[in-house]
Every structure is written in C-alpha cells, then in structure tokens.
Amino acid sequence: MYADRLSNLPPYLFARIDAMKAEKERSGADIIDLGVGDPDLPTPPHVVEALCAAARDPANHHYPSYAGMDAFREAVAGWYSRRFGVNLDPAREVLALMGSKDGIAHVPEAFVNPGDVVLAPSPGYPVYRTSTLFAEGELHELPLETGNGFLPDLDAVPAAVAERAKLLFINYPNNPTSAVAPRSFYDEVVAFAREHGVVVVSDNAYSEIVYDGYSAPSFLETDGATEVGVEMHSLSKTYNMTGWRIGMAVGNPEVLAGLGRVKTNVDSGVFDAVQRAAVAALSGPQDCVAAACRVYEERRDVLVRGLRSLGYDVAAPRATFYVWLPVGDSMAFAARLLDEASIVATPGVGFGAHGEGFVRFALTRPVERIREALSRMEALR
C-alpha cells in the first residue's frame, strides 16, 4: 500500500515520544515533559498584536508571495545586518520559509540525485536524515564526539565520499549537544566546500538562545560563505513562535533559487499576516529575547546543579535550551525516567548512532517543575 521509501524512514522521534507520553498520561500520571524543545514562554505581545491587526486586513487574505513579501525579506536583511554584520540583498538572498524545518526538509530535493552523498552530523536533527532519504540520497554521518567538542572532523571524511557529496549540514549552536563552534570551524567548512564542490546548509535556529555573555556567530560572517552555501534560521525559538511556522533561508542566491523552485511546487508560501508579525518581531524591540534567555539560564543553572549533586558529570551549555547528559544506555535511561518517575527526556540515540550514551533535557518547563524532576530522579537512586 505504502511507497517503498516509507519503509526506509524511522518513526519520527518526537512523534514517538508524544505517543509514549500520551499513554502514560492516560494512566493518570503527572508528566514532567523535558523532551521536545517547544518553548513554554509566550510569544511577545507586540508580535501577537501585529498578527491580529494584519489578520483583520482583507489585503492579507489572498495567496502570499512564494518567496515572501518584500517587507518580510527586508526585515530579515535588516536583522542580519544589525545582528551579524552580514549584508543581504532582500530580493535575491532571502527566502521565506514555513520554519527552518521547511528549508532543511526540501533543500536536498533541489540538489541531491539518487545515490549522491549528504554529509550530516550524528547526533543531529533527525530531518537531516529523513530529507536525504526522501531525495534518495546516501547519508554519511559525521560523528560529534566529546573529545572534539562535538565538532565534526572534516579531515576524516574519506576522499571518495567527499567527492560524491552534494550537501553538508552543520548546526551550531548545536541540537542536541548544545555545543558551540569557534569561528575557525567555519573557515574549515568553507575550505572543505570549495575543495569538494559541496553546498553548505547551516542550521542556525538557536543563535539567540545564549548565556554567560556568549554571542553566537552566523556561518555567513565567514569569508566565502555566501559563495558555497546558505543559512536556515527561524523565529521559532528566538521569539517563542514554534506554532507560527515562519523562518528564512539566506545566502547564496543560486542555492535559494533551487530551493525556491521546489517550494513553489509543493506549497503556497507563508500567510501574509504571519509575515507581518515576523516583521514586528525582527524589527521591533529585542529585550524580549534577552528576557527569555534569563529565564532559560536560571533553569539551566538549577538543572545542572541538581544533576551534578546526583553524581552526573554534565556541562553547563552556553547556548540552546538543552542539557546533554551522559548516561550509558540512552533508551533504557529514558524509559526508566518515564516509567518510574513520569519524566520525559529524549534518548540520544534518536538523533543518530553517535548520540547513544546520552539523553537530552529541554529547559522548557518552569523552575519548580525542574526541581520536582530532580527530586524524582533522586528517589530513583
């Protein structure tokens, strides 16, 4: 009944977690969900107000532009200039997305032929793998290991694999490890891409969720980056807009044109009222972002201190709202947390083979719930 390609796809990790959580909730359990990274903080009021005003305007009730309205693309270019010092042509170097997942899922269809290689981190966002499989490409995993600061070793990619590669996914600040990358890493990425003719796709969705004075760079700040690739960004985490489905792809105009050709055939763009709200987010006051980071930083400190008091060797992340905890058997650990303590954590193996041995906690619940989770974990000892 189903197409053969579906048999090659693993069940989507977060959908499986949702199903397991729902079954536990039906039994009456008090679930503390530290699994999927969906902010519990509200979208800033001025963004909501902009949406409401735009939704009432009949001019926004028609099909939107495939590439995104001029005002949105100009707002993206302005934000990139202010935030990263990167100058973008709104007409050629900015493309509206229904969240960064939209771009990540569709870019292989524009550049990968059956049998071509896609280089992607392991552990990594599961859509890198599934988008490659949909394009009938071959995934080559780049191990992210503790000893290398969870950075891929591009020199370790076999020459024969590198020569067949069409895409390279990178993601810093990183999901799920919460690692950050030095600027020198991006120089290595550009050199690798030039040498092997690879298109780079930088997933930078977590650049604004930072702590301890850290400021995350953009791949596009690197000399030569726009010659070899693009960056996917999203308003989901920055402005607590996961359900709004709005993001952007920026950078190399030829790569964006290829992605745009795919998207014009599979969707009809982002609702103009949502784009108007995104303009308000990108162009308006940014104190809401700093306030959210302060909330996550407090939660991080409570969770990390608590885990260390329980004997775990865990690093305090400088970015993202994730804590990457070494535990041994990730599925067994996550299952025990759910079964015996009603805590949802994400097993690292769900992000790829090299995620085994870890679980990911998301800082998307209030401090008091994090303290309750730690209390329950202590009771399991």
**122 and 102, same domain (yes or no):** yes
The shares of helix, strand and coil residues in the chain, as percent rounded to the nearest 5, are 50, 15, 35
In terms of average pLDDT, the best of 14-18, 33-37, 115-119 is 115-119
Tell me the CA distances in angstroms from 238 to 179, 234, 313, 319, one per residue in order.
18, 7, 29, 12
Nearest to 98 by CA among 246, 230, 248: 246
From its phi and psi, is residue 288 left (phi > 0), alpha (psi between -120 and 50) or beta?
alpha
Quick check: 277 and 72 in contact, CB under 8 A?
A: no
Cα dist from 210 to 139, 173, 238, 306, 340, whole Å? 30, 9, 10, 21, 33
pLDDT in tens, 233-280: 999 999 999 999 999 999 999 999 999 999 999 999 999 999 999 999
Report the pLDDT value the prediction gives residue 14, as an integer from 0 to 100.
66
- Structural domain boundaries enclosing 221: 45-283
What CATH number is associated with residue 120? Answer: 3.40.640.10
- Neighbour-count burial for 139-167, b at 16+ CB within 10 Å, e otherwise: bbbbbbeeeeebbbebeebeeeebebbbb
Closest CA to 140 of 128, 127, 150, 155: 128
Q: What local confidence, expressed as pLDDT, does residue 177 receive? A: 98
Residues 140 and 237 both lie in one domain: yes
pTM of the model: 0.96
DSSP state of 236: T
Give the lowest-confidence range in 68-82, 166-180, 331-345.
331-345
Counting Cα atoms < 13 Å in the Cβ hemisphere of 67 gives 18
Number of domains in the chain: 2
Percent of the chain whose predicted confidence (pLDDT) is above 70: 99
Say yes or no to pLDDT of 151 above 70. Answer: yes
**Does one domain contain both 101 and 11?**
no
Write down which residue in 266, 283, 300 finishes a domain. Answer: 283
Among residues 283, 307, 331, which one ends one of the domains?
Answer: 283
Q: Judge if 39 and 77 occupy the same domain.
A: no
Question: Of the candidates 171, 186, 185, 301, which has an alpha carbon nearest to the alpha carbon of residue 237?
Answer: 171
| 92 has a pLDDT exceeding 90 | yes
Whether 37 and 64 share a structural domain = no
pLDDT at 27: 84
Domain end, chosen from 236, 251, 283, is at 283
Residue 244 and residue 305 in one domain: no
CATH number at residue 23: 3.90.1150.10
Residue 99, both tokens: 């969240």
Question: Is the domain of 193 the same as that of 260?
Answer: yes
The verdict on 101 and 190 lying in the same domain is yes
pLDDT band of 51, cuts 50, 70, 90 = very high
Q: Which residues lie below 8 Å from residue 332, measured CB to CB, with a gap of 6+?
A: none
Q: How far apart are CA 282 and CA 246, in angstroms?
A: 12
Label the pairing between strands 322-326 and 358-362.
antiparallel
Lowest mean pLDDT among 15-19, 113-117, 118-122, 295-299: 15-19
Q: Predicted confidence band at 12 (pLDDT cuts at 50, 70, 90)? A: low
